Amino acid sequence: MWRTFDAVIREGSLSSAARALGLTQPTAGRHIAELEAQLSAGALFTRSARGLHATETARALAPHAAAMAAAAAALIRTASAPANAAAGVVRISASEVVGVEVLPPILATLHAAHPGLALELLLTNTTSDLLRRDADIAVRMTQPKQQALLAKSTGRIRLGFYAHRDYLARSAPIENAADLASHALIGFDRDAASLRAINAVWPDLPGFALRTDNQLAQVAAVRAGFGIGVVQDPIARRDPALFPVLRDTFIAHLPVWVVMHEDLRSTHRMRIVFDALVKGMTAHALASEG
């Protein structure tokens, strides 16, 4: 019923909404008609031969329907196995870099120990809202302020300049920050927060040779020998072909937090995954030092 509403808003027509939900178009149409009849809010959509167009009222309802859908999805996840079993679905949210470079071995170990676990990865750089239950557990680079969240700090990760051995071999040596001006630098494109952070440490920015907001692409470019970029210390260290540049130049420390909704504490598998992430991220952060 409200799922149909949600789907119609997203899909734009009764037919495609019905397809997406595995219903038939008449059923979807009757759902919407019934809603419009019940709600004193008037019409929800203006119909046309090209589909349904949401009215202002329908747009106001959309986020609530989405919230309901998110809660329902979380409910289904939690119900995917008994609360005290080391099995079932757990949805983890993290940044792309963490999800690609850091989590895989952690999750592999975890799954080997608990083969019944089904892990879902939601990789977005926008912190997805745990309170809206888009995910069960999140790995974040900021300290969460919301109560009702169970959060654990797992150290911090140092950022450093790195470059590939091949690039360094064919380029001029780098003794101090001024030398960077003549090198191929890899940096952000439009990500305001990151640009500000870099600018604070390094005010006289010489200009990037490669700009992208996708941090995975930045790391990949460094590995490909494109030039010099900012990489998390523990990630760079794993690759023997990468060497630090201006080792003593401080850029930033990323605080790392593993966060979970309080309601999930009583579900055993959530705790298992939470603890594994805390352990794994702590080890990852520790590799920053020494």
Partner DNA sequence: TAGCTGCTATACATTTTTGCATGAATATAC
Partner DNA sequence: GTATATTCATGCAAAAATGTATAGCAGCTA
Which spans of this chain sit near a copy of itself (rule: CB under 8 A)? Answer: 2, 39-42, 55-57, 59-61, 63-65, 67-68, 71-72, 74-75, 78-84, 88, 129, 131-133, 145-146, 148, 263-264, 266-267
35 near DNA, judged by CB under 7 A? no
The single-letter DSSP state of residue 203 is S
Shortest reach from residue 42's CB to DNA, in Å: 15
Closer to a copy of itself by Cβ: residue 33 or 131: 131
If contact means CB under 5 to 8 A according to the sort of partner, which of DNA, a copy of itself, none does residue 29 touch? DNA
- Cα–Cα–Cα angle for 56, 57, 60, nearest 5°? 90
**CA gap 13, 113 in Å, rounded:** 46
Among the residue ranges 29-37, 55-63, 113-121, 219-227, the one whose residues contact DNA (CB under 7 A): 29-37
Q: Write out the binding residues for DNA, residues 41-60 only, by CB under 7 A.
A: 47-52
Tokens of 84: 């005290």
Alpha helices in the chain (DSSP H): 2-11, 14-21, 25-38, 56-78, 96-97, 103-113, 165-170, 192-201, 215-223, 233-237, 268-286
Among the residue ranges 20-28, 69-77, 84-92, 276-284, the one whose residues contact DNA (CB under 7 A): 20-28
Shortest reach from residue 75's CB to DNA, in Å: 18
**CA gap 20, 242 in Å, rounded:** 46
